Structure 1
Amino acid sequence: MSTQKYSYIRIHPKDNVLVALQNLAQGTEINFEGQTFKLTQNVDAKHKFSISALNPGDEIFMYGVLVGKATVAIPQGGPISTQTVHHASGEFHLGKRKLDWHRPDTGKYANKTFMGYHRADGSVGTGNYWLVIPMVFCENRNIDVLKEALVDKLGYKKAKSYEGDVDQLMSLYQAGKSVEEILNADIRDTADKAKSNRFFKNIDGIKFLTHDMGCGCNRSDAQTLCGLIAGYVTHPNVAGATILSLGCQNAQVSILEQEIKVRDANFSKPLVILEQQKVGTESDLLKQALKQTFAGLMQANQTERTPAPLSKLCIGLECGGSDGFSGISANPALGYVSDLLVSMGGSVILSEFPELCGVEQELSDRCVDEDKANYFMQLMTTYNKRAEADGSGFYANPSPGNIRDGLITDAIKSAGAAKKGGTSPVTDVLDYPAKVSKPGLNLLCTPGSDVESTTAEVAAGATIVLFTTGLGTPTGNPVTPVIKLSTNTVLASKMPDIIDINCGTIIEGEETIQQAGERILDYVIKVASGEAEPASVRLGQDDWIPWKRGISL
């Protein structure tokens, strides 16, 4: 698709609305397929307007699927908004398998490799991290103490610091400056501190993951937490881990050990597990944790990067702060990356089930067998019913920012979000917090909440996460590089500190979806090899939120 020379576009031949690619004023003449009409109101870029007049109850289609129904009469050229449309999506059922797809040409990548960390289970990591995790929130303080002791001394403190800014403000105060003068002061950026040399050259970082779970929750939540932690402990990007347990909580160490075995029957990474109620004093616990962690780091440091085929990559597909261009630029570009990687034997993960509402039929038809199709539809139906029971179905997913930038119904948002999954068959369907075991496109049940979903994708095995955003979302992960892709050039220019790749070039007609996809994959290979550092890693965006199976959209 090329958008060059156009100020609006129809995404699919079945659509009865057009998308504005730039701000269009009331009265703008629209020439479309032999029709000429004028806009009845101003239509901002990313928003939609009708091709023909619509009556109350008429169906509205985008991306070729039902995305809403008119609530009032909408004239030809009238805007589509929350005042004129409400959410609607098509019904779905078990259909015939539709497994034919156009495999992209992967000749450019035939001999490509990345430099990764090879693990005993055959997986290959894009990083080499040590984890320190509590089994229960009671141990969070001890985790913080270990972090204070280890991070600076071993050379893992991030270079960027705002201490110099505070020094300048203190000096202004001491000089007698007023509140108004302080607020209007020109605080100059101070030079970043030089990065300390890492004591362990082959360890990319020590990550400390705290949470508010493990006890005071039901047993199912405790089991799920243990599965999530096990997903991180066995992750290809993780060299080893230190686990702190109190001892009496619901999330027992024995459950964690079982969950580790489910994911890696021959688990052999260094693993330190300490239970405070067995050890005794806090001082003894922390001293043992420091000694055993240091010994584990010595072992982990022996692993070095070596070449690996691209088939060993597992990419998580994520979006957050989406806008009306997401489904036209960045998400389809990720879809092409997904198809490229699947064609080469790699794995990709499409999650955020509330944002697949309305495309259930297409995705279930793409499942390789009926059992997986039925499982996907069951997960979608059950999740939505649980949300509705709490007074909020999938229809409530779009955020105020989504709506402001053109995603006025969940089905519109979902139809664009699903483009990240490309066109290949669905090889597996997983419920949280399961781990990917098959190459190809995997569907993983997670909420649409950015951090919870990214946390889950990494637990499932994602060694790189590609994250599209139209509004700007400063999200990362402790052990997996999260690459940010903007859907529009305005965002890339406004927030260059968090954006790695601009896909607004597609909207502007400077490159095709395929060209952008190859540019993205080229960057992925550099990041996977440790040759490029995405903004989320550089800024230390170590976001980690376990999903409680209550309702989170």
Structure 2
Amino acid sequence: MENKTANYLHIHPADNVLVALTDLPVGTIIRHAGKEILLKDRIAAKHKFTIDDLATESEIKMYGVLVGRASKPISQGSLISVDNIYHAASDFKLSGRQTQWVKPNVDQFSGQTFMGYHRADGSVGTANYWLIIPLVFCENRNVQVLREALNDQLGFSKPRGYTAEVTKLVKMYKAGQTVSELLAADLDVSADESVTERLFPNIDGIKFLTHDLGCGGTRADSNALCGLLAGYITHPNVAGATVLSLGCQHAQASILLKEIEKRDANFQKPLVVLEQQEIGTEKKLLQEALKRTFAGLVEANNCKREPAPLSRLCIGLECGGSDGFSGISANPTLGVLSDMVVSLGGSVILAEFPELCGVEQELSNRCQNEQTALKFMELMTSYNARAKAVGSGFHANPSPGNIKDGLITDAIKSAGAAKKAGTSPVVAVLDYPEKVTTSGLNLLCTPGSDVESTTAEVAAGANIVLFTTGLGTPTGNPVAPVIKVSSNTKLSEKMPDIIDVNCGTIIDGTETITQAAERLLDFVITVASGYQQPKAVRLGQDDFIPWKRDVSL
């Protein structure tokens, strides 16, 4: 950060806008770089205002890159908004390699370990789950039946949902209370902790990954689904799996098995694959599934946590419900943490390609070789072209919430989102649903959509996901712990039930980005060891949405 005062931030020397760190009234005088800037508009915190007068079509720069152009003349000290600027980003081309970087000091983490589940392929899990998966949506109901049969009896159900609150409303209604009285009622009740003791203490749970794919779409979609599911089955956080197939669908079990072999040629986990049309009745299918799943759980329970080096961490980097502070607090914190993990020999995954629009040149230059750079540029170009073909484009990525809180063009959003990747070289570019095979910074082609992207990062091997948010997003994953990192303190205080770590301390001026990254990595190690559950795990946020390779921003 180039220049920070109590009420504004100049992110990069080349920028011609300033970011308001607090609400600034009309008429406020901002003194910056020898200039007195009289604010012509009220500038809400997170939003930006101009340093100089700008003519129509003038470039708007943030983070040192082009993020928009003026759609009309803008006077000095004015708010930039969708009313006076539009999305613009620089072109990119194959250029020279810029892979030199300064590694952060990781002395305090060198030699540290986490307690993980060691797998035969050398990977290490931060959790130990059994999966039950349908190969096609026709089997979703059978998966739900297995959920109802297994979870309560094996002790994997949550202590309580909101049944106690409903019971209280029913009693009030039967007692003759009015609608007004019902609406005014205090529904806080004591938690019912009377749950079945876990039969398999070394298993964190059974996860049921239902979806609406597998048939009726293109063969490419069903093949990608098999690759995604294979990524979950071979995932280090997964002990084994039960797969239900109807039999006639596009997503054949044989395709799934080939995808598993591609990811782990010596696959040794217990795997149950059952085909309903071959077995016969639903009852026979489900009884066989119960018996063989139970036998697999007995085997999976033999795996226990043991020390593992931090090099076995694979961190997924994600953002959702972003705001104008995300790119200057939470995302740069992930960037420093990313560099630390890479320096320790671990892997990180940066995804969400629609949110890398405008920073393609920097990222392609950071690729270790030209082949990798060309693959990244081709994926970005073809993705944006597909979006334009249906009347959209990367420019349509910002949501109403993003815009309301200061991310008014896709390039502004992207420039801040890319800060999650730190400064290390790009070792590989992966197309969905490929898997990470190289330590270091990996780029993975996914949508910007939170759940689709998180689902893909975990399939690629992320055993922890760090998820930054400025507005609050209750997203999780069935098998990988998702740690929520807030960009501002107000959000952390308003939604403490979903936020794990607050990086608003950087905006408040009580902590540096490096200090926040070190604090976050300490928390990651605690979660990876199973000593603490992030909020998304406690809430049972098992969000799972496979990406159909159509246009999703």
TM-score, normalized by length of structure 2? 0.99
Matched AA of 1:541: Q
Give 1:355 shift.
0.2
Match of 2:217 in 1: 217
Match of 1:474 in 2: 474
Give 1:2 shift.
9.4
Q: What is the rounded CA distance, in whole Å, between the counterparts of 1:93 and 1:492 in structure 2?
A: 40
Give 1:198 shift.
1.2
Match of 2:417 in 1: 417
Give 1:37 shift.
1.8
Matched, 1:513 2:513: yes
Match of 2:390 in 1: 390
The answer for unaligned runs of 5 or more in structure 2 is: none
Q: Secondary structure at the match of 1:139?
A: helix
Give 1:158 shift.
1.0
Q: What is the rounded CA distance, in whole Å, between the counterparts of 2:211 and 2:161 in structure 1?
A: 25
Give 1:163 shift.
1.1
Q: Secondary structure at the match of 1:236?
A: coil
Q: What is the rounded CA distance, in whole Å, between the counterparts of 2:195 and 2:271 in structure 1?
A: 28
How much identity, in percent, do the aligned residues show?
Answer: 66
Q: What is the rounded CA distance, in whole Å, between the counterparts of 1:3 and 1:113 in structure 2?
A: 37
Match of 1:29 in 2: 29
Asked if the contact 1:4–1:508 (Cα under 8 Å) also holds between the matched residues in 2, the reply is no
Asked if the contact 1:2–1:511 (Cα under 8 Å) also holds between the matched residues in 2, the reply is no
Structure 1 residues 191 and 4 mapped into 2: Cα distance closer, same or farther (>3 Å)?
A: farther
Matched, 1:355 2:365: no
Alignment of 1:475-494 (within 5 A): 475-494=475-494
Match of 1:79 in 2: 79
Structure 1 residues 192 and 516 mapped into 2: Cα distance closer, same or farther (>3 Å)?
A: farther
Match of 2:312 in 1: 312
Structure 1 residues 145 and 158 mapped into 2: Cα distance closer, same or farther (>3 Å)?
A: same
Match of 2:259 in 1: 259
Give 1:467 shift.
0.1
Match of 2:130 in 1: 130
Match of 1:451 in 2: 451
Q: Secondary structure at the match of 2:153?
A: coil
Q: What is the rounded CA distance, in whole Å, between the counterparts of 1:161 and 1:525 in structure 2?
A: 29
Q: What is the rounded CA distance, in whole Å, between the counterparts of 1:403 and 1:196 in structure 2?
A: 47
Q: Secondary structure at the match of 1:302?
A: coil
Q: What is the rounded CA distance, in whole Å, between the counterparts of 2:188 and 2:443 in structure 1?
A: 47
Deviation readout 1:318-340 (Å, 9 max, x if unpaired): 00000000000000000000000
Q: What is the rounded CA distance, in whole Å, between the counterparts of 2:148 and 2:56 in structure 1?
A: 61
Q: Secondary structure at the match of 1:368?
A: coil
Asked if the contact 1:451–1:475 (Cα under 8 Å) also holds between the matched residues in 2, the reply is yes
Give 1:171 shift.
1.6
Asked if the contact 1:436–1:461 (Cα under 8 Å) also holds between the matched residues in 2, the reply is yes
Asked if the contact 1:4–1:510 (Cα under 8 Å) also holds between the matched residues in 2, the reply is no
Deviation readout 1:385-420 (Å, 9 max, x if unpaired): 000001110000000000000000000000000000
Structure 1 residues 4 and 70 mapped into 2: Cα distance closer, same or farther (>3 Å)?
A: closer
Q: Secondary structure at the match of 2:93?
A: coil
Alignment of 1:176-215 (within 5 A): 176-215=176-215
Asked if the contact 1:3–1:508 (Cα under 8 Å) also holds between the matched residues in 2, the reply is no
Q: What is the rounded CA distance, in whole Å, between the counterparts of 1:533 and 1:264 in structure 2?
A: 29
Matched AA of 1:92: F
Match of 2:293 in 1: 293
Q: Secondary structure at the match of 1:210?
A: coil
Deviation readout 1:168-207 (Å, 9 max, x if unpaired): 1112111212112211122223324245421101000100
Deviation readout 1:2-44 (Å, 9 max, x if unpaired): 9875100110110000000010000000100000021001010
What value does the CA root-mean-square deviation take over the aligned residues? 0.9
Q: What is the rounded CA distance, in whole Å, between the counterparts of 2:231 and 2:464 in structure 1?
A: 15
Q: What is the rounded CA distance, in whole Å, between the counterparts of 2:117 and 2:265 in structure 1?
A: 20
How many corresponding residue pairs?
553
Match of 2:89 in 1: 89
Q: What is the rounded CA distance, in whole Å, between the counterparts of 1:90 and 1:519 in structure 2?
A: 35
The answer for unaligned runs of 5 or more in structure 1 is: none
Q: Secondary structure at the match of 2:86?
A: strand
Match of 2:403 in 1: 403
Asked if the contact 2:2–2:12 (Cα under 8 Å) also holds between the matched residues in 1, the reply is no
Q: What is the rounded CA distance, in whole Å, between the counterparts of 1:375 and 1:112 in structure 2?
A: 35
Asked if the contact 1:2–1:506 (Cα under 8 Å) also holds between the matched residues in 2, the reply is no
Q: Secondary structure at the match of 1:108?
A: coil
Deviation readout 1:520-539 (Å, 9 max, x if unpaired): 00000000000010000000
Matched AA of 1:87: H
Q: Secondary structure at the match of 2:376?
A: helix
Match of 1:43 in 2: 43
Matched AA of 2:459: A
Q: Secondary structure at the match of 1:69?
A: strand
Asked if the contact 1:4–1:509 (Cα under 8 Å) also holds between the matched residues in 2, the reply is no
Match of 1:239 in 2: 239
Give 1:454 shift.
0.1
Structure 1 residues 148 and 3 mapped into 2: Cα distance closer, same or farther (>3 Å)?
A: farther
Q: Secondary structure at the match of 1:525?
A: helix
Give 1:111 shift.
1.5
Matched AA of 2:293: T
Match of 1:104 in 2: 104
Matched AA of 1:8: Y
Q: What is the rounded CA distance, in whole Å, between the counterparts of 2:160 and 2:476 in structure 1?
A: 16
Q: What is the rounded CA distance, in whole Å, between the counterparts of 2:4 and 2:86 in structure 1?
A: 31
Asked if the contact 2:4–2:10 (Cα under 8 Å) also holds between the matched residues in 1, the reply is no
Q: What is the rounded CA distance, in whole Å, between the counterparts of 1:524 and 1:26 in structure 2?
A: 43
Matched AA of 1:353: F
Asked if the contact 1:367–1:373 (Cα under 8 Å) also holds between the matched residues in 2, the reply is yes
Q: Secondary structure at the match of 1:315?
A: strand
Asked if the contact 1:359–1:415 (Cα under 8 Å) also holds between the matched residues in 2, the reply is yes
- Deviation beyond 3 Å, 4+ runs, structure 1: 1-5
Match of 1:381 in 2: 381
Match of 2:335 in 1: 335
Q: Secondary structure at the match of 2:429?
A: strand
